[in-house]
Every structure is written in C-alpha cells, then in structure tokens.
Amino acid sequence: MTPSDVKATLSFSDGSPSMDLPLYKGSIGPDVIDIRKLYGQTGKFTYDPGFLSTASCNSTITYIDGDKGELLYRGYPIEQLAKNCDFLETCHLLLYGDLPDEAQKKDFTARVSNHTMVNEQMQFFLRGFRRDAHPMAIMTGLVGALSAFYHDSTDINNPVHRDIAAIRLIAKMPTLVAMAYKYTQGQPYMYPKNKLSYSANFMQMMFANPCEDYEQNDVLVRAMDRIFILHADHEQNASTSTVRLCGSSGTNPFAAIAAGVACLWGPSHGGANEACLNMLGDIQKMGGVEKIGEFIKQVKDKNSTVKLMGFGHRVYKNYDPRATLMRETCHEVLGALGLQNDPLFKLAMALEKIALEDDYFVSRKLYPNVDFYSGIVQRAIGIPVPLFTAIFALARTVGWVAQLNEMIGDPEYKIGRPRQLYVGAVARDVKPIGDR
C-alpha cells in the first residue's frame, strides 16, 4: 500500500478534537482512508452495513472497475484470458500471480491431475443424503467433509499445507460436483480420466456412464471452460469475504471454502443463475414473450419482491464484461446444438431487449450480469438447473483459495471482527417469571 500525500481530516460538530486519517493509493481504483486508529483515538466506530464504502483488505488478485465494466485477473483483462487461456492457466495465474509458461503449465496440470480422485469413503458420506437433496446442500457437506480426509493439508499456517490444499480443492471439486449429480440421478459415479483436460474430464464425469463412452463436443467443452474462467474470481464478493472471515479464525482451508459454498448458494449471489432460469420458466408458463410486459410491471412494483434475476450488480454499473463473453458463448453453444429457436433463449433475448430500453433499469444502471446467460448455456449443455450454482462453486474455488492464501500470507492479517451500533435494550434486571 502506497501512502498518499493527502490526508483526510475528520472533524466533529460537538467540539471533540478532529483527527487526521492517512490515505493509501492502490495501483488503480479509489484511494482508501485508513480508519484503523479511529476507535482508539475517538471512541467511535464507522457504520457501513453491506460494506458499501469499506475496503476490507488490500489485494493483488482481481480488479473490477464497475463504471467501465472492466475485470482484470492479476492485471490481465478477462476478455484476453477467456479467449487465449484455459481454466488451469487461469488457476495458475490466480494462485501464483502469473500465467504459466509451457513447463509450468505441464507441471501444474500434472499436480492437479494427480489429485482428482476423492477418498473412496466420500461415496458413503454421500449416501447419507436424500436423492432429491439440492446439490448445494450436498456440496456444502462434501467440501467441509474433505477436512476429515486430508489431515496432512489442514494447517493453514503452513505454506506447504496451504498449497496442497489449494491443489486438492481445485482438483476434487469437479469430481464432487459430478458425484453429487450422479447421486441425484441414481447413476454410478464415473472416475476422473486424467488424460483429459480439466473441463473435458468434468463433462466425462457428468455425462458418461459405464455402458457408454461420452463423445466430447469441443464447443461444449470450451463453453464449460469459459464458464469456469469467467467465474474464477471476483474480488471481495460475499462468498469470498465469507471465506476470508471464516479463514481468519485459523480454521482449515476446506472448512473455509465450505463456508464460501454456503454463502454462494443464495439467490442474490451464485444462486442467481438457477433463479434466472426458474424465472424464465415462470414467464414461459405465464404465456412467454407476450407476458414480458406484465412480468416487468411486477418487477417495478415497489410492493412486490419480484426481481429481474440475472440483472444488476453491486459493483458493475455498466455491462458486466463476463456477460458479454457469456452471451457470445451462448450463441456459439446454441448454434452448435441447433437450438437457436429454443423458446427459453428467445424469451431471454426479448427480456434483455426490453429491460435494456426500460427507464426503470436504465436509470438504475441495471445491466445483465454473467448469470443471465450462464444458465442458458448450462441448460443447453444438459446440466440440470439445480446444479448451476454448484458449477459456479467449482469455478470460484480457485478464487476463494487464492484470496484465503493471500490473507494468511499477509503479515498484517488479524481475525475479522466487525463491531456494531447497538440499538437494543439498555441493561435491565430479570424479574421473577410471575412478574414479567
């Protein structure tokens, strides 16, 4: 962090002494005001529910400019990564700070491939779930359970443990997601095939069965890989902040990532892709394109809780750059599968057009986000809707782990412990039950 020459001065109207607060400059993006000594010097906290103005850490991993619609991983624009790199190269970049050269890529791929299987006991753990359990319920359990199987990589203070845990998590997530899917289908699990690429292996574990080989379709494999790249990290979003906060207590990486999975599940976050597809299904049931106007009316009604899922973002006040890339992939996939006339896709396109022209959305800078298209792509690939968020979790694992390891490696890191503005009852005495 580079200190700025500028200082912020905080003054109070009640005559309390003012206080100078240091400012720090990042390499790009807004400066931050350092308030760490505020409480000690003034006895006051800051108040920022939802963290609208709070930088919770400094980070070198991902940068978003929400007004420009820009996303950089370690300085590289997401567009260039999505077009020129594969997911494992992106993982290497996020974890270690730079894109691998050929030798590093070979080595990294071999290390990940070496860890794709999960302990055979995991199957029995899975058996405890109902067959109709939501995949994210299963994933929250399975990822947390990894800490019971891989004791030799649970010491968060040991850099070697952290690295092995990172590789294990990246390698095993596809296996676990595919197992969760196969379990709900009542089909046998397919073991990983390490000669395949990361994404092709995932497709194989999802769609092959012991009686038939799965014929890879390069367009679909590439689409899956792109979904992974686009979801790999997104700076201090809710689930990443959850992972950091959870990890700040010194818990093991598997437990911290399980917390991230749980947070991602919510419909305002990773669950939006599933919610978006369900919303399209609901509009379809209402009568399809003709009913979009009626649906938009409900969205705009202040008394309703209906939202246009897949639209809006806390940080992007411009087109989400991931949405542009996902839209492109969406056209490619539907073209390759001959699904251009798919009614749900047509409905999505009509909804997008109307929302982009409607003053409600325009004035609030609500644009489609990545989830508006990723659900359509996944559905076309054959992924069942309830599994969408689990795939997001698979992809985001590398980001969570990179952010967790960055935090632990920071000599200034402390357990996360926000404070509050207490507005409850002041101290009072407990009365005997008959007098209450």
Residues of this chain that interact with ligand CMC (CB under 6 A) are: 234, 237, 268-270, 272, 299, 307-314, 364, 366, 369-371
In this structure, what are the phi and psi dihedrals at residue 146, rounded to the nearest 5 degrees?
Answer: -55, -30
CB closer to ligand CMC out of 310 and 386: 310
**140 touches 197 (CB < 8 A):** no
Distances from the Cα of 291 to the Cαs of 69, 342, 346, in angstroms?
31, 17, 13
- Taking the least distance from each CB to ligand CMC, the nearer of 192 and 312 is 312
Task: Give the nearest residue (CB) to ligand CMC.
Answer: 312
| Distance (Å) of CA 298 to CA 51, 276, 294 | 29, 15, 7
CB 419 within 8 A of CB 47: no
Q: Minimum distance from CB of 43 to ligand CMC (Å)?
A: 30
Rounded least distance, CB 53 to ligand CMC, Å = 13
Buried b (16+ CB within 10 A) or exposed e, 230-261: bbbbbbbbbbbbbbbbbbbeeebbbbbbbbbb
* Helices 218-230 & 87-96 angle (0-180, nearest 10): 20
Burial of 294 (0-12, 13-18, 19+ CB in 10 A): exposed
Say if residues 286 and 278 touch (Cβ distance below 8 Å).
no
Taking the complex as a whole, the smallest distance from the CB of residue 362 to ligand CMC amounts, in Å, to 11
For the beta carbon of residue 65, count every other beta carbon within 10 angstroms.
17
Which of 105/314 has CB closer to ligand CMC? 314
> Over 344-365, what HEC string results?
HHHHHHHHHHHHHHCHHHHHCC
Instruction: Pick left, alpha or beta for residue 382 (phi over 0 → left; psi -120 to 50 → alpha; otherwise beta).
Output: left
Is the Cβ of residue 246 or residue 308 nearer to ligand CMC in the bound state? 308
Residue 371 catalytic?
yes
Closest CA to 223 of 365, 72, 334, 131: 334
Could you tell me the smallest distance in angstroms from the CB atom of residue 215 to ligand CMC? 32
Residue 410 Cβ vs ligand CMC, minimum distance, rounded to whole Å: 24
Residue whose token pair is 């050269």:
101
Q: Which is nearer to ligand CMC, 157 or 303 (CB)?
A: 303
CA distances from 435 to 249, 401, 432 (A): 42, 54, 6
Q: 86, 225, 320, 371: which one is catalytic?
A: 371
CB count in 10 Å sphere of residue 33: 18
Instruction: Report whether 253 contacts 156 (CB < 8 A).
Output: yes
Structure tokens at 357: 């022209």
Task: For residue 406, give the nearest of 241, 265, 270 by alpha carbon.
Answer: 241
- Which C-beta is closer to ligand CMC: that of 168 or that of 322? 322
- In the block, residue with structure tokens 């991602």: 264
Known catalytic residue: 313? yes
> Shortest Cβ distance from residue 367 to ligand CMC (Å)?
10
State the minimum distance, in angstroms, from the CB of residue 89 to ligand CMC.
22
Distance linking the first and last C-alpha atoms of the chain: 56
Q: Residue 299 Cβ, how far from ligand CMC at the closest point, in Å?
A: 5
Of 144 and 312, CB closest to ligand CMC: 312
Catalytic residue among 233, 269, 313, 320: 313
Nearer to ligand CMC, 147 or 237 (CB): 237
Q: Which residues are catalytic?
A: 313, 371
